[in-house]
Structures are given as C-alpha cells and as structure tokens.
Amino acid sequence: MNTKSLFSSAGLVVIALALIFAVAVISLLPGWRIDLTEDNLYSLSDGTRNIVASLEHPIELMFFYSDSAIEDLPQIRSYGTRVQELLREIVIASNGRLSMSVIDPEPFSEEEDLATQYGIQAVPVTQGGAAIYFGLVVIQNDVDGDNPFALPVMQTMPLIRPDQEQFLEYEFLKLITRVGNPDVPVVGLLTELDIDGGFNPIMGQATQQWMVMDFIRQLYEVRRVDIAAADIDEDIDILMIVHPQDLSQQMLYAIDQHVMRGGKTMVFLDPSADSMVTRSPQGNLIPAGMSSDLPGLLAAWGVAYASDKVLTDSDLALRVRMGQNQQPESHLGMLGAHRDNLAGDDIITNRLETINFSSSGAIAAAENASTVFEPLIQSSTNAMLMDAGFLEDVTEPSILFDEFVSAQQSFVIAARVSGVIDSAFPDGRPVDEEMEVEAAEETDVEVAEETEVEAAEETDDEESQVDDTDSVDVIAADASTGVDDDPGVEEESPGADHIVSSNGEVNIVIFADTDMLSDRLWVQVAQFLGQRIPQPFANNGDIVINTLDNLSGSADLVSIRSRGTYSRPFTRVLNLQREADDRLRIEESGLLDRLTETEEALTELNQTEDGELVGQIAPEIQAEIDQFNAELLDTRRRLRDVRFQLTEDIEQLGATLKAINTGLIPILLTLLLLGASYLRARRHRFVNQAG
C-alpha cells in the first residue's frame, strides 16, 4: 500500500475502524497484563489466584479512602493509588467472585457513619488537619442464600499502613480467606508442660496457665492432645507441639501422618528447658528431664538438630539478675534477638522488635534435604554451641565467658520448613510393643488349648490332622496381629490408611526453644479486679500468634510472600549524603565545642570571682570581650556555612540529573532522528541512482 492510498478517505476510515476494534478488544480483555517492573510489583502470586478462583460465595471489598482530603498530600495519594491498583488486580483475577467499591467518607456524611460502623479508624495526617480514612472491609452477605436474617461474615482492616506495603497482598487475602471460611481454626496442643495451667505438688497449689495461651484462646479453639494416644483427630488444623519428651512410636507415627495429610505443625524444641526446673518449699532447685526431640521426624523433614547443645551469643546476651540482691550481668545463654536477627521478608517476623530466649538450641538444614529451609530468627556471628549439661550446672554467668570461643558463624533459632516429604515410617504404623506381648500370651494359650483337643480326638485321617494344624497356625497368626478370628467380621489392615508421601507441600515452623513461651521472658502480668492484665516487654507472644495466623490459612495463603518495594531511592545520592555527614559532622562538632568555650569565657569575663556581674569593665577586659564576641560571630557564621555545605553536593548532583533529563535526552533523541533521516535520504539517493 502506497502513501496516497493510506491517507485517502478509505484508508483513514480503515485506520479509524482498526483503532476502534483494538480499543474494544483491550477493554473486553482486562485480564491481559504486562508487568515490566523489576520485582513484579503488579503481578499477583499463584496462591492469590488459586484462593480467589476457589471462592464459593460472592464477597464484597469496601475500600474506605478519603480521596478528597488528601489532594494536597502526594505521597499518601500515590500510596492510595497503588493500594487501589492491587485491589483491582485481585478483583479481576477472581472472575466475578469479588466486587469492589471505593467509598470517600467526607466529614458529617453517611459514608463517614458507615466507616465508623465498620470500625475503620480516622487518622490525623497533619497537626490540626482533618483526619482521613484508609481502611478495608471484606464482607459476605447472606451466606446461606435463603436466610434473610443471617448475619454477614465480615473482616476489617482498620488502617492500611504504608509500612505494610510489602505484605498487603497477604493481608488482603487473609481477610478474604477468613470471610470465605469463617470457621474458627482448631489448635491441638501436645505437651507435658503446665503451659495450660496445672498443679504444683511440691508447693501444693494450682498454677496459672501461661499468658500466651490466653492470647491463643482469644483467636482459636484449643484442644489438648493425649500424649499417650495413637492418633490425632483429622479436624485439628494446627498441631502445636511443645517440648516433646520420650514420645511413643505410636504418637510419633500420629504426628507423621498428621503432617502427611496436610496438617500444619508448629514445634517448640529445647535442649535445656528452664521451665522444667521447679523449686522446693525450701527454695532448692529440682531439675527434671530438660531436653526434647522428635527422633526420626526431624530427619524426614530435612532438619538437623542437636538436643545436647545450647546456643550462646556474646552480642545478643541479655543482662539478668541471678538473685534478689545481685547486680544484673550478661548471660550468654539468655538471648534477645532484635530486628536485625529476624527475617524481614516473612510475614511471621515482619515488624517485630525483640524476641527473648533462654538456653535455646540451634537447627539447620540437613544434608541432601528435599525440603525448603527458610530461617526466621538467627543469632549473630559472635556465637557458639555449648554442651547443655555444662550450662545446666552453671550458677555464675561469668563462667560462661571463660569457656566462650566464637564460632564466627550465625545459628538458626527458628525456621520455616516447606516442601513435599516422605513419611518417616515407610513400612506403615509401627507395632506396639505392649500389644505384641499381649498377643504372644494369647497365642500361647490358644495353641495349648488346640493341642489338648488334638490329643483327645482319636483319628487316623492325615488330612484332618493337617487341617487342624492349619487352623492352629491361622489362630496364631490372628493373635499375633491382634485380630479376632471371627469370620463374620472383616478387619482392616493396620497399614490400609498409611500415607507414604505428603499430599502437597507441608508447612512446618520450628523453634529451638520452649522457654520463650513462659511469661518471665516476655510479659509482666498484673492483677486488676480479678483479671490478668498483660504488659509485654518483648514480642514473644506476637510471633506465636503470627505463626498460628499464617499456618491457619490454606497452603496457597502460606505461599504468598512479600512483594517488592515501590520505593526506588537514589543510592548514589544516599551514599553522597552519608559521606558528607561523616566528613562535615566532625567539623561541625569542633565548631560547636569552640562556640561553647567562647560563651563560657565571655561569661567568666562578665562576672567577678564571687559570681556577681561586673559593674564597670576595664578597657583591656572590654577589648578581650570584643575579641571573643567577634570570634563568636565568626564561629556561628562558619557553622551556618558547614550546614549549608552539607546539602550543596546533593543539590549539585540533583541539578546535574535535572540537566541531563531536560537537555541531554532531547539532544540524543534529536541526533538519533537526524541520523535516521540522513540514512533514509542516502538510501533513496542510492535507489534513484541505481534506477
């Protein structure tokens, strides 16, 4: 097609129709997206798509956003735009199962009353300025479809904070999942510790349940799991194992099968559990079995753990008081992990500040493990593993420093384990030793009875004797397996329901410390009108709730990780500012010291030895005062110059970048177009010469 036909009336009509068709196709296919950002900021995870695609009932998203109140706040406005874009992407991926409405709660309006009704917080942005609303309500009306009086299922996020931006996809999907599945998750507690309250026979009094259990019961249904049981109920969503000691093979098998069928698991191990130590009425310490382990299971999960090694760390050591009249001193076995030691990209540890531990152990990924081992909490590199027995005998913390030799490596205190695993019991349920002994005794009795019957019967039929012998063998075989010989009852094989490999990816969170759950390490409990009032000083309770919160979701929800950051700072500018700070702060500090000395000297000249003001100043003193005043003015001027110089290099760099963006780029584009035009004209010239 030549140029004349392209720009003719018919050609223009064809172009217009093509453009209209293209716009229509693009508008009808909103699911087509191309994410060109480095961290895929606008791409949803596969877990999110699976969750919204499997919703059974329609759900409404109500985004309360004070659009009109933040017109002059560009940072908040851009953040609000990104939140809306993420919510719209989620709605689009749901294929109609989700709907979204954006509500602007203006002052004294019905929309503001609605926001207050749903629990959305009004937050003042500037001092004296109007408060804004920035929250989300996820609601599902009439779940049954035929009950007009049914209460709506609702979850609220009162404030969408900017520091949550990396985890907004997870937070939004958590709300949607809870609305879509409103049943309260069941937590099965497997422990012999008095974590849930008990009775101290030595002191002769009842013990309160640990405060962490109060927190858990506010959000979950908690069931105790009998430690002597052989099975774990399938309706238990999360199995919480605390300090497992000498578990039977039947219970280990039950835990294994719980994990195999997709049950979530949270484990607290400890090489030296201080919570097991009690005091006699005379005040003497009474130790008990201190270490815990899950033999066989940890290896199957791809986790290495030494139950006889305690982690010590010189950098994270807490200062503790060993007695009432003693001074606080550092204890290498009692650690305080700070934000730098926590995984910042995991929802479990994000935004937590301090986690305290006592005589914790260390876990690691086993060699050739098929699972994914993701550390959540790590020690510093100034750490080492000590024998648990040595630490238990130490009563003076300073002795630990004498034996401490840094391993120059960090150790993992808590980790998330995920992946597809094989059962730790490939041959099925292990044989119960007690049942085996009883079965053997029954076999002996039955064989003796059959022998007496055979001796009493007089028969010469050889075939009948064979039949009798076979019957004895069958009875013995049945007795050895604990199965009755009633032919009218069909017994199920013990390995019929055995799961050899996990049904999808497992999700296990392991902590190498149980003392972190005890009140003494993270919370002070006050009594007020018969109520226990917690006053936390560490985030131990928060990390337990975060872990249960994360594991209570589906495998798709657990798979959602943090998104990339939308902030792309100029690293060169930041480095330049850091260097300028280091260089100029020294000079500023010297000038401030000189300024202070000058002011003190002037004060001394204006006072007598008794501290009274000088009535008449001698000429030589006045000259000295004038000199000091001149130095004072000069010092203040130089101080202003230093503070101005602090930003001059950064402004110069900004001006250079501005010049490049406004001048150099257009010049390069102009040169590129001129070069293309020149090459085109030259090609036409060659074509004309050849013709």
CA distances to 10, 11, 14, 15, 195 from 22, in Å: 18, 17, 12, 11, 65
Tokens of 311: 């982690």
Q: Do 635 and 594 touch, CB atoms closer than 8 A?
A: yes
Q: Which of 25-39, 177-191, 540-554 has the lowest mean pLDDT?
A: 25-39
Structure tokens at 382: 């100034």
Give the pLDDT confidence of 158-202 residue by residue, as tens digits. Answer: 999 888 888 889 889 989 998 988 888 999 999 988 888 766 665
Residue 30 confidence (pLDDT): 54
Instruction: Give me the pLDDT at residue 210, please.
Output: 92
pLDDT score recorded for residue 126: 74
- Which architecture does CATH list for 35-160+169-180? 3-Layer(aba) Sandwich (3.40)
96-110, 426-440, 448-462, 575-589: least confidently modelled range: 448-462
Structure confidence at residue 566 as a pLDDT band (50, 70, 90): low
Supply the DSSP symbol for 418: E
Question: Residues, the chain, total?
Answer: 691
Q: Between 262 and 664, name the one with better pLDDT.
A: 262
CATH 1.10.10 fits 186-426+500-552, yes or no: no
Hey, how many other C-beta atoms are within 10 angstroms of the C-beta on 37?
A: 11
Report the distance separating Cα 348 and Cα 547, nearest Å.
6
Q: How confident is the model at residue 470 (pLDDT cuts 50, 70, 90)?
A: very low
**Intrachain domains 35-160+169-180 and 186-426+500-552 with the same fold:** no
Listed residue (503, 504, 496) closest to 428, CA to CA: 496
Q: Name every residue whose Cβ is closer than 8 Å to that of residue 60 and which is 6 or more positions away in sequence.
A: 98, 99, 100, 101, 138, 139, 140, 141
109 secondary structure, DSSP code: S
For the chain, state the CA radius of gyration: 37
CA dist 260 and 561 (Å) reads: 23
Output DSSP code: residue 343: -
- Helix 462-480 to helix 433-456 angle (10° resolution) is 160
- This prediction has a pTM of 0.67
- Residue ranges of domains in the chain: 35-160+169-180, 186-426+500-552, 433-456+465-480, 574-607+634-686
Looking at residue 557, what is its pLDDT? 81
Q: Is the dihedral of CA 160, 164, 165, 166 positive or negative?
A: negative
623 versus 517: the higher-pLDDT residue is 517
3-state secondary structure 454-465: HHHCCCCCHHHH
- Cβ atoms 137, 100 nearer than 8 A: no
Instruction: Please indicate whether residue 33 or residue 415 has the higher confidence score (pLDDT).
Output: 415
| pLDDT at res. 491 | 43
For 592-601, b/e burial (b = at least 16 CB within 10 A) is: eebbeebeeb
pLDDT in tens, 261-270: 999 999 999 9
C-alpha–C-alpha distance, residues 120 and 468, integer Å = 81
Instruction: Pick left, alpha or beta for residue 129 (phi over 0 → left; psi -120 to 50 → alpha; otherwise beta).
Output: beta
End-to-end CA distance of the chain: 21
Instruction: With CA atoms as reference, report the closest residue to 358 among 194, 243, 200.
Output: 243
pLDDT of residue 485: 45
